[in-house]
Amino acid sequence: MNEAIYLQTAQALARIKTHLQHLELWTETAPSDEALADPSPFCYESMPFEHWLQFVFLPKMSDLVANQQALPTQFAISPMAQMRFDNQTAAQALIDELIALEKLLDEPR
């Protein structure tokens, strides 16, 4: 896989983290192991979407990037973000960043 895709993905993940922090949605308190094991999409039955981003999505994606493993393609997390942050203009930059990451990873490699 192209080295640039890993760099671009790492940069996008950093921007997602920054957006979460800017929105004051970043927390130092990790969900319980039980919550993290929630099999529902986005662990929605056990934690807010922003916690899923912080404690599930960002670590897994960062690990894939760090180890230069295959990155996912054709995934869609922005619709969940749009539902979670419905009509919250302050969160639009976060949603836009998620959409940009989806498009980046969906491009042919």
Residue type, 8: Q
What's the pLDDT at 87? 86
Proportion of the chain above pLDDT 90, given as a percent: 93
| Residue 63, both tokens | 């690990």
| Predicted confidence (pLDDT) per residue in 61-108, tens digit | 999 999 999 999 989 999 999 999 998 999 999 999 999 999 999 977
Average pLDDT value over all residues in the chain: 95
| Residue 99, both tokens | 């959409």
Angle between helices 3-22 and 92-106 (to 10 degrees): 170
| Residue 11, both tokens | 């940069």
- Pair 105, 11: CB distance under 8 Å: no
CA 88 – CA 102 distance, rounded (Å): 21
- Pair 58, 17: CB distance under 8 Å: yes
- pTM for the full predicted model: 0.93
What's the pLDDT at 1? 65
Residue type, 32: S
Is residue 40 scored above 70 in pLDDT?
A: yes
